[in-house]
Amino acid sequence: MGDLVNVISSKLLPDVEFGLPTGRPPSPRESIRRAHEEWLAAKNYFETVSDPDLVDHAIYLLGAAERKYMYLLKRAKAEGVDSPTF
């Protein structure tokens, strides 16, 4: 179970190394791709979590990841950026 939490955490945390940003901000398409991966990871976590104490955590992560993904898609559409098809 601990390995799954580490995988989820690594997908949800920003790309940083030693607390420093790793470079330029990602492109809108890259942000959408990463948000989609975060959403899928959170969905998988929610579907596989078995500890009752972690169910609320899984629900929170899933909701946050979904909102972030939908926000980025909406923003890209408003800016005229073609979003990737997943």
The fraction of the chain above a pLDDT of 70, given in percent, is: 70
> The whole model's pTM is what?
0.68
d(CA 67, CA 51): 24
pLDDT on residue 17:
46
Q: Band the pLDDT of 49: cuts 50, 70, 90.
A: very high
Residues 6+ apart with CB under 8 A from 16: 22
Q: pLDDT value at position 18?
A: 45
Stretch 8-19: mean pLDDT, rounded? Answer: 54
Residue with the larger pLDDT of the pair 2 and 48: 48
pLDDT of 20 above 90: no
